[in-house]
Structure 1
Amino acid sequence: MKTSAKFIVLHPSIHKPSGGGGGSAVPPPSHRTWLLVFTLFFTVTFAFTLITTRDAARTSAGANTTAKTVLPRPIFDALVHYASTNTTSTSGRMSSAELKSITAVLRRCAAAAPCNLLVFGITHETLLWNSLNHNGRTVFVDESSYLVSKLEENHPGIEAYDVQYTTKVSELSDLMEHYKEQMKNECRPVQNLLFSDCKLAINDLPNHIYDVPWDVILIDGPRGYFPAAPGRMAAIFTAGVLARSKRGGAADTHVFVHEIYREVERSCSDEFLCRENLLETKDSLGHFVVGKMEANRFEFCPNSDSSSLESNSSN
């Protein structure tokens, strides 16, 4: 039997997107899309980090370079001082040869270790010595409390002390007689000056000054060009004792005496620093190299048999 009815079945195509409404829907992102997005994000983040790190490194390097190029304060002050000083007057100043002699020793001393420099006298060259030894220790000793205070006020980093000298140039003969009488007691070459009653000893400096192993001692003060001036007898005697009594540091101490051709400077240098220790003279500057000495010696210059005495000779 024939039938005329026909059934038509309609179903959605698998190629047609589903969804409500008549508009087309956006397909969900695939794994490949997520990977692309993650890769792009990682690349941008890495590039940003690299750029900021490099800029920070450049900034830090620039700051370090700037810090390294800044002159140390002592050198800065010295350059300004000497550039602004009237150079037409040379009174009281050291000559070129004298300056070179001292600076050569300071250079060698600083190359070996931090240098300990003791200077008697505040002079035109004070800032020079302080700047040349800026990595070491520099101490200035002067007769004028006013000059010391002004120096420390204008240059706070400088270490300076004033000393009340009790000697006079006119008393040279009497002082030498006193020394010879006390050369085995209060005026011996190896001792702690802090407790010395020798008239030539400087014993009123701060205690720690006597414990420093001085490598270089420069004597350019106090005044010594008129009879009532303090003279440099005590400074030269003290330098001789400090060099021979040194504990630690180098075996030798370089001692410079300025204006060595004057009577006080010449006679005291011969007696307390010794001619055999004179290395050279440059113009009016004497350069001595003084070694340590055993405590049982009682003469500054070992040129006689009596210079070495056993401390227990009475036994």
Structure 2
Amino acid sequence: MGDTSDALLYYHATSNRTDRMPSTDARSIARAISSCAPCPVLVFGLGHETPLWRALNPHGRTVFVDQNEYYVSHFEDRHPHLEAYGVQYATRESEAEELVRAAKAEARDACRPVQDLLFSECGLAINDMPNELYEVGWEVIVVDGPRGGDPSAPGRMAAIFTAGVLARSKKGGSEGTHVFVHDFDGEVERVCAEEFLCKENLVGSTRRLAHYVVRRAGNQGEGFGFCSGETKGDLQ
């Protein structure tokens, strides 16, 4: 990374905000963004790192989606030219086990790994983002939202599933997509990442961050499941 990226990360690391991402995790994501910049970057969730991800991708397109429309407006007011959209999540973390089980059962049909998410009938598909976002060949996808950790929260099941499908279905850009899952120490995040991003694609991890490189599958992925082998994760 260059001097500018290092400076941005230094100021992030010295922030006294209690909600900031650990420096090692932020640096891992920053390295992936800087390696492809300018490039398309998609981030699920708005937070303390939002200006950092955008600044690391000058002249590239960094898009944020969040469950909270008020939060989206708040960030747009504070950061001119920020591209952010509100999305509605129909999931609840209390339903995670049932939703993941259903998605696995439908992995060759409604929840297949290569598909047009706009028309998906899978319970974990996010299909209310702006239509053109589904056509973008994302180089980096960061899952740092929506809110989780309690039964009534949306959880990150849909964001992780959608990231896996976008990476496998992309038509342009490089062969692989960097997908990061933050709060990987959470049971829902860990199990969903193992199911939909797959252990064979895991290239690095810390206690709270998992880094996957998921390759496009093309038409050959339509009739197969997500992972080459069965995963061991189960939600309790």
* TM-score for both structures, normalised by structure 1: 0.67
Q: Distance in 2 between matches of 1:282 and 1:180?
A: 27
Contact in 1 for aligned 2:134/2:166 (Cα 8 Å): yes
The answer for the alignment partner of 2:133 in structure 1 is: 209
Contact in 1 for aligned 2:169/2:217 (Cα 8 Å): yes
The answer for the alignment partner of 2:163 in structure 1 is: 239
How far off its partner does 1:182 sit?
1.6
How far off its partner does 1:169 sit?
0.8
Q: Distance in 2 between matches of 1:283 and 1:271?
A: 18
How far off its partner does 1:178 sit?
1.5
Corresponding pairs, count: 220
Counterpart pick for 1:282 among 190, 203, 206? 206
Question: What's the C-alpha RMSD, in Å, of the aligned pairs?
Answer: 1.9
The answer for the alignment partner of 1:200 in structure 2 is: 124
How far off its partner does 1:99 sit?
1.1
Q: Distance in 2 between matches of 1:97 and 1:294?
A: 33
The answer for the alignment partner of 2:36 in structure 1 is: 109
Q: Distance in 2 between matches of 1:143 and 1:150?
A: 13
Contact in 2 for aligned 1:95/1:283 (Cα 8 Å): no
Map 1:242-261 to 2 at 5 A. Answer: 242-261=166-185
Deviation per CA, 1:109-159: give whole Å up to 9, x if none.
12xxx2110000001000111111122000000000001011112223111
The answer for the alignment partner of 1:174 in structure 2 is: 98
Which letter maps to 1:150?
H
Higher relative contact order (CA 8 A, sep 6+): 2
The answer for the alignment partner of 1:302 in structure 2 is: 228
Contact in 1 for aligned 2:195/2:226 (Cα 8 Å): yes
Correspondence 1:88 to 2:16: yes
Structure with max Cα Rg: 1
How far off its partner does 1:176 sit?
1.4
How far off its partner does 1:295 sit?
2.3
Report the identity percentage: 55
How far off its partner does 1:225 sit?
1.1
How far off its partner does 1:237 sit?
0.1
How far off its partner does 1:261 sit?
1.4
Contact in 2 for aligned 1:98/1:283 (Cα 8 Å): no
Q: Distance in 2 between matches of 1:282 and 1:192?
A: 32
Contact in 1 for aligned 2:185/2:207 (Cα 8 Å): no
The answer for unaligned runs of 5 or more in structure 2 is 231-236
Contact in 2 for aligned 1:101/1:282 (Cα 8 Å): no
Q: Distance in 1 between matches of 2:92 and 2:219?
A: 29
Q: Distance in 1 between matches of 2:135 and 2:16?
A: 41
Counterpart pick for 2:24 among 97, 102, 117? 97
Contact in 2 for aligned 1:97/1:283 (Cα 8 Å): no
Q: Distance in 2 between matches of 1:301 and 1:176?
A: 14
Q: Distance in 1 between matches of 2:53 and 2:33?
A: 9
